[in-house]
Amino acid sequence: MKLKRTAYLLFLYLSSSLLICIKNSFCNKNNTRCLSGSCQNNSTCKHFPQDNNCCLDTANNLDKDCEDLKDPCFSSPCQGIATCVKIPGEGNFLCQCPPGYSGLNCETATNSCGGHLCQHGGTCRKDPEHPVCICPPGYAGRFCETDHNECASSPCHNGAMCQDEINGYSCYCVPGYQGRHCDLEVDECVSDPCKNEAVCLNEIGRYTCVCPQQFSGVNCELEIDECRSQPCLHGATCQDAPGGYSCDCAPGFLGEHCELSVNECESQPCLHGGLCVDGRNSYHCDCTGSGFTGMHCESLIPLCWSKPCHNDATCEDTVDSYICHCRPGYTGALCETDINECSSNPCQFGGECVELSSEDLYGNTAGLPSSFSYVGASGYVCICQPGFTGIHCEEDVDECLLHPCLNGGTCENLPGNYACHCPFDDTSRTFYGGENCSEILLGCTHHQCLNNGKCIPHFQNGQHGFTCQCPSGYAGPLCETVTTLSFGSNGFLWVTSGSHTGIGPECNISLRFQTVQPNALLLIRSNKDVSMKLELLNGCVHLSVEVWNQLKVLLSISHNTSDGEWHFVEVTITETLTLALVGGSCKEKCTTKSSVPVENHQSICALQDSFLGGLPMGTTNNSVSVLNIYNVPSTPSFVGCLQDIRFDLNHITLENVSSGLSSNVKAGCLGKDWCESQPCQNRGRCINLWQGYQCECDRPYTGSNCLKGERSGVPQSAVPLSRAISNHPGCRPLLGNIRTPQDLCWYLFTNEIKWHSHDMY
Ligand SMILES: *[C@@H]1O[C@H](CO)[C@@H](O)[C@H](O)[C@H]1NC(C)=O
Ligand SMILES: *[C@@H]1O[C@H](CO)[C@@H](O)[C@H](O)[C@H]1NC(C)=O
Ligand SMILES: *[C@@H]1O[C@H](CO)[C@@H](O)[C@H](O)[C@H]1NC(C)=O
Ligand SMILES: *[C@@H]1O[C@H](CO)[C@@H](O)[C@H](O)[C@H]1NC(C)=O
Ligand SMILES: *[C@@H]1O[C@H](CO)[C@@H](O)[C@H](O)[C@H]1NC(C)=O
Ligand SMILES: *[C@@H]1O[C@H](CO)[C@@H](O)[C@H](O)[C@H]1NC(C)=O
Ligand SMILES: *[C@@H]1O[C@H](CO)[C@@H](O)[C@H](O)[C@H]1NC(C)=O
Ligand SMILES: CC(=O)N[C@H]1CO[C@H](CO)[C@@H](O)[C@@H]1O
């Protein structure tokens, strides 16, 4: 209970303190004395009488609040005109009473003339109620305390300034007025300021002189100069005279004001039709179009003036003409022709020739100076292709000096370029390739060449690929095509078109052959006029060309090829004919060439019909003409194998031969060693003849197998051909006399030869 009351009291106290303190946050003013903590923020509570307290911020010397409360004069406690004076430090005041008053607040009026009641020398007069001050002039008020303002009645006139003084005033006049009150106007003409009998007009604060003619100036003291208006024209001199002037004209002008120009052109001074243009005391001659020049168009214009020479040439006048002296690189009478220094194509290896006179190329063509000048316009520069340098691009840059080939590749410098020959790394079994041998070649990892072809990988245009290097007897991208052909007796292959597929007039024939025949026809091409034959004669390769049945070329290589081994022969037909036996057993003089150029070598290449191995030949001349073969050879047809037959770059296989254009030709080489079974008895030597064998018997044995005691040394066919042919159904020999394997049977139909291919083995 007791606690509750205390809390209540405290609440009352606090709330009342709060109400009182609303006006001033610093303190509780109600309290008659300062409570501790009543002032916040370190300000000090200050006590004043009449229950006035305030807080003094001593730290910041802020005491505004205290000031208001401290001023005891704030409520104007002193009566009348008494002065309230603060008593410092106490918060109290003192009233200083005016004369005639007394009391604490000057509320009491005195009624005696004591002291200096009247101010400013006023005289005090006693009065029953209160004394009266008689004020000296200029003062007023009960105690003469007020100075009387004499200017209040505006005594000064005409805009003058009034200055109040004790018991008086002064007027300060504006110019033009005078007098005590500035009410008198000054007559400025009194002093007679205007000269030369001018009339003086008095005005306020000034005067004006009205001058007679011929005079001017404020006081008309100046005589007027008639020349001042510059009345004389065209540079004339003005002579002033009293009341007038005269003009002394410049040469070429006339008139009172020299306004008239004398016409100097009247005398026609311009020659040769020149136009005279009159001027000020002068003239000039316009010679335009007259062909003359000079002051009076008296001189002929030099022809060089018309700049007739082109291309910065120098012009030289002569007696009646002119000469152009050209700058180097230009020619022509007017130097109008730019000499084409590039016409000789001086830049090599594809370098671009740029004339130094190509003005429009300057500034954007490397190799030319930055700006054109006629001095350097003669000649040319070569702008070389990459990889070349030198004035004429004649020097090949050796790109191999930069060692561009990686991974052990060897560098070959080429004109304008280089080539890396990349190695095959045997240890890692890696092929390198690409431009700089930097690529590991992957072309062969998944591709296999057939028939023992060798896979060669390459890297071109960012693609891995491979090519197959085919062994003899195979061709095609994967060596899948068999190029080996077996020719049986009287076998032949007729290739009718596309024999020459090369570009240009030159061509190529190559083939490999294998035979034991000493004499055989390998190939014949012919038409009515020209024929070319490749034959074996006595085991040697012969090439012959006949034109109009005349032998033109005969080439042969004296190397025995009838040994049953493969031989490669190549015929190259250019302006000369070349016959070459390549590789194998041929060691010397394996190439021979026609000594003189062959006319018609183009027509040899252009021949369309080629027969390989033989001709579909009987003895009827008819058949020959049908076959388009005009120069029928006597050589026996080929028995053996041909392989890799190429006309230019094209392989000839059985695919190229339509049915009916071949006979007794089969894919592959069916050569059989007839001697393997040792058919020759009694120590006879066996000779494999492809279609049979032959025994060379020792005496006294004879016979096909050296069994008989007959005459020896005469070769005999192992398989009697007459029997072979007569046994064959549908085959009818055209000639009854079968002597050699070349005699074949064939049927000739109208315009068509139909061949029956027979296996003669
Ligand atoms: C006291 O001082 C603080 C900080 O200086 C200020 O925020 C606050 O307003 C002051 N109080 C009063 C009542 O002036
Ligand atoms: C008051 O004064 C004391 C000592 O001078 C000081 O430490 C304190 O910070 C001051 N307080 C304020 C609110 O200024
Ligand atoms: C090959 O090397 C040359 C010179 O080092 C370089 O400029 C070129 O880019 C290289 N080529 C490739 C395909 O990396
Ligand atoms: C002859 O053939 C070879 C390749 O077999 C070829 O490189 C050459 O260019 C050919 N010559 C002519 C004149 O066709
Ligand atoms: C060529 O060689 C074969 C086989 O060696 C032989 O039989 C033949 O007599 C030879 N021919 C000539 C003309 O030497
Ligand atoms: C066939 O031609 C040859 C010469 O090429 C000639 O000697 C022969 O008489 C001709 N035979 C016939 C039947 O016309
Ligand atoms: C032969 O045939 C092959 C495959 O069809 C072809 O690529 C080639 O060009 C032909 N040769 C000739 C000479 O027509
Ligand atoms: C005028 C006024 O509010 N005076 C109060 C001052 O404070 C006391 C108590 O501290 C009150 O009793 C007064 O009424």
Task: Choose among 66, 49, 50: nearest CA to 58.
Answer: 66
Question: What's the fold here for domain 226-261?
Answer: Laminin (2.10.25)
When pLDDT is cut at 50, 70 and 90, the band that residue 664 belongs to is confident
Residue identified by tokens 């060691």 is 587
Q: How far is the CA of 192 from the centre of ligand 6 (A)?
A: 168
| Minimum mean pLDDT range among 205-219, 363-377, 597-611 | 597-611
Which atom of ligand 3 approaches the CA of 434 most closely?
Answer: 13
**Highest mean pLDDT range out of 73-82, 164-173, 745-754?**
164-173
Q: Which two tokens stand for residue 271?
A: 């020659």
- Residue among 401, 406, 432, 435 whose CB has most ligand 3 atoms within 8 A, to mutate: 435
Find the mean pLDDT for residues 280-290: 85
The pLDDT score that the predictor gives to residue 588 is 78
CB-count exposure of residue 346 (10 Å: 0-12, 13-18, 19+): middle
Check whether 63 has a pLDDT greater than 50: yes
* 60 C-beta closer than 6 A to ligand 1: no
Q: Determine if ligand 5 sits within 6 Å of the CB of residue 585.
A: no
Query: What is the spatial distance between Cα 4 and Cα 11, in angstroms, rounded to a whole number?
Result: 10
Residue 44 beta carbon below 6 angstroms from any ligand 3 atom: no
Most confident of 92-106, 526-540, 630-644: 526-540
Instruction: Give the whole-angstrom CA distance, residue 149 versus residue 538.
Output: 171
Q: Which residue among 39, 40, 44, 55 is best mutated to probe the pocket of ligand 1, counting the most ligand atoms within 8 A of its Cβ?
A: 40
Mean of pLDDT values over 255-279: 86
Residue 446, amino acid: H
Residue 423 has pLDDT above 60, yes or no: yes
Q: Distance, CA 501 to ligand 7 centroid (Å)?
A: 10
Q: How confident is the model at residue 311, as a pLDDT?
A: 93
User: Taking residues 395-400, what's their average pLDDT?
Assistant: 92
Question: Quick check: 252 and 262 in contact, CB under 8 A?
Answer: yes
Cα 531 to Cα 704: distance, rounded to the nearest angstrom: 39
For atom 5 of ligand 4, which residue has the closest CA? 649
Residue type, 416: G
Residue 744 pLDDT level (bands cut at 50, 70, 90): very low
pLDDT band (50, 70, 90) for residue 451: very high
Q: Greatest CA separation found in the chain?
A: 217
Ligand 8 centroid distance, CA of 30 (Å)? 6
132-139 average pLDDT score: 82
176/202 Cα distance (integer angstroms): 10
- How many whole angstroms separate alpha carbon 120 and alpha carbon 147? 9
Q: Are strands 485-495 and 662-667 parallel, antiparallel or unpaired?
A: antiparallel
Average pLDDT rounded to a whole number, residues 387-401: 92
Residue 561: name the closest of 587, 540, 589, 534 by CA: 540
Query: Stretch 439-459: mean pLDDT, rounded?
Result: 87
Our answer on whether the CB atom of 40 is closer than 6 Å to any ligand 2 atom is: no
Which of 677, 527, 690 minimizes the C-alpha distance to 600? 527
Residue 24: what pLDDT? 43
- pLDDT tier at 578, thresholds 50, 70, 90: very high
* Residues contacting residue 436 through CB under 8 Å, at least 6 positions apart: 404, 405, 406, 409, 420
CATH topology for the 153-186 domain: Laminin (2.10.25)
Per domain, the residue ranges of the chain are 153-186, 188-203+208-223, 226-261, 264-280+284-300, 303-337, 483-667, 674-760
Q: Domain 303-337 falls in which CATH fold?
A: Laminin (2.10.25)
pLDDT over threshold 90, residue 592:
yes
Q: How far is the CA of 434 from the centre of ligand 3 (A)?
A: 10
Dihedral sign (CA 540, 546, 550, 554): negative
Query: 132 by DSSP, 3-state: which?
Result: strand
pLDDT band at 643 (very low <50, low <70, confident <90, very high): very high
In SS3 terms, 630-689 reads as CCCCCCCECCEEEEEEEECCEECCHHHCCCCCEEEEEECCCCCCHHHHCCCCCCCEEEEC
Indicate whether 470 pLDDT > 80: yes
Q: Give the Cα separation of 56 and 63 in Å (integer).
A: 5
Rounded-to-integer distance, Cα 570 and Cα 554, Å: 15
pLDDT of 757 strictly over 60: no
User: Is the shortest distance between the CB of 40 and ligand 1 below 6 Å?
Assistant: yes
pLDDT in tens, 564-576: 889 999 999 988 9
Whether 534 and 543 have beta carbons less than 8 Å apart is answered as yes
The response to whether residue 496 sits with its C-beta less than 6 Å from ligand 7 reads: no
Contact assessment for residue 662 and residue 654, using Cβ atoms and an 8 Å cutoff: yes
pLDDT of residue 719: 37
Bond before 700 cis per omega within 30 degrees:
yes
Closest CA to 17 of 8, 27, 2: 27
Q: Is 292 within 8 Å of 269 (Cβ atoms)?
A: no
Question: What number is the average pLDDT over the span 170-190?
Answer: 89
pLDDT at 411 over 90: yes
Q: What is the pLDDT of residue 445?
A: 84
User: Torsion angle, CA of 545/551/557/558, rounded to 10 degrees?
Assistant: 150
Residue listed under structure tokens 């012969």:
542
Q: Compute the distance from residue 437 Cα to the ligand 3 centre, in Å.
A: 10
Give dist(CA 453, CA 645) in Å, integer: 18
DSSP designation for 129? S
- pTM higher than 0.85 for the full model? no
Give 20 or 751, the one with higher predicted confidence.
20
Whether the per-residue pLDDT at 10 is higher than 80: the answer is no
CATH number of 264-280+284-300: 2.10.25.10
Residue 434 phi, psi (nearest 5): 85, 175
| Cα-to-centroid distance, 53 and ligand 8 (Å) | 13
For residue 3, is pLDDT > 70?
Answer: no
Whether pLDDT at 501 is above 70: no
| Percentage of residues in the chain having pLDDT higher than 90 | 24
Q: Tell me if 652 CB under 6 Å of ligand 7.
A: yes
Predicted confidence band at 5 (pLDDT cuts at 50, 70, 90)? low
Q: Is the CB of 562 under 6 A from ligand 5?
A: yes
The per-residue pLDDT for 682 is 87
Q: Which residues have a Cβ under 8 Å from the Cβ of 736 and sit 6 or more positions away?
A: none
* pLDDT score for 242: 65
| 608 secondary structure, DSSP code | -
> Do residues 95 and 77 lie in contact, with contact meaning Cβ atoms separated by under 8 Å?
yes
Nearest ligand to the CA atom of 610: 7
- 656 pocket-lining for ligand 7 (C-beta < 6 Å): yes
Is pLDDT above 60 for 745? no
pLDDT at 739 over 50: no
Higher pLDDT among residues 483 and 77, named by residue: 483
Mean of the per-residue pLDDT values of the chain? 79
Q: Is 306 helix (H, G, I), strand (E, B) or coil?
A: helix
Query: Which residues pair with residue 510 across a beta bridge?
Result: 570, 646
Higher local confidence (pLDDT), 632 or 154: 154
**DSSP structure class, residue 72:** G
Q: Quick one: average pLDDT of 382-410?
A: 92
- Asked if residue 340 has its Cβ within 6 Å of ligand 2, the reply is no
- Please work out whether the CB of residue 229 comes within 6 Å of at least one atom of ligand 1: no
Angstrom CA distances, 108 to 9, 111, 114, 144, stand at 49, 10, 15, 20
Count Cα neighbours of 548 within 13 Å in the Cβ-side half-sphere. Answer: 2
| Strand bridging mode 540-547 / 685-688 | unpaired
> Could you report the per-residue pLDDT of 181-219, keeping only the tens digit for each?
998 888 889 889 898 888 999 888 889 999 888 788 888
Q: Which two tokens mark 79? A: 């009566």
* pLDDT average, residue stretch 459-471: 89
pLDDT: which is higher, 759 or 589: 589
Q: How far is CA 554 from CA 536, 557, 630, 634, in A?
A: 13, 10, 18, 16
Ligand nearest to the CA of 60: 2
DSSP string, 408-461: TPEEEEETTEEEEE--EETTTTEEEESTTS-EEE-TTTS---STTPEEEEEEET
Please write the tens of the pLDDT for every residue from 307-332. 999 999 999 998 888 999 999 999 99
Which ligand gives the minimal distance to the CA of 404? 3
Long-range contacts of 231-237 (CB under 8 A, 24+ apart): 231/257, 232/257, 232/258, 233/257, 233/258, 233/259, 234/258, 234/259, 234/261, 234/280, 235/280
CATH of the domain spanning 188-203+208-223, picked from 2.10.25.10, 3.30.420.10, 3.30.565.10, 3.40.50.20: 2.10.25.10
Q: Check for a shared fold between 226-261 and 303-337.
A: yes
User: In the CATH hierarchy, which top-level class contains the domain 483-667?
Assistant: mainly beta
Question: Under a CB-based contact definition with an 8 Å cutoff, are residues 613 and 660 in contact?
Answer: no
Q: Band of the pLDDT at 729, cuts 50, 70, 90?
A: very low
- The larger pLDDT score, comparing residue 351 to residue 708, is at 351
Look at the domain 674-760 and name its fold.
Answer: Laminin (2.10.25)
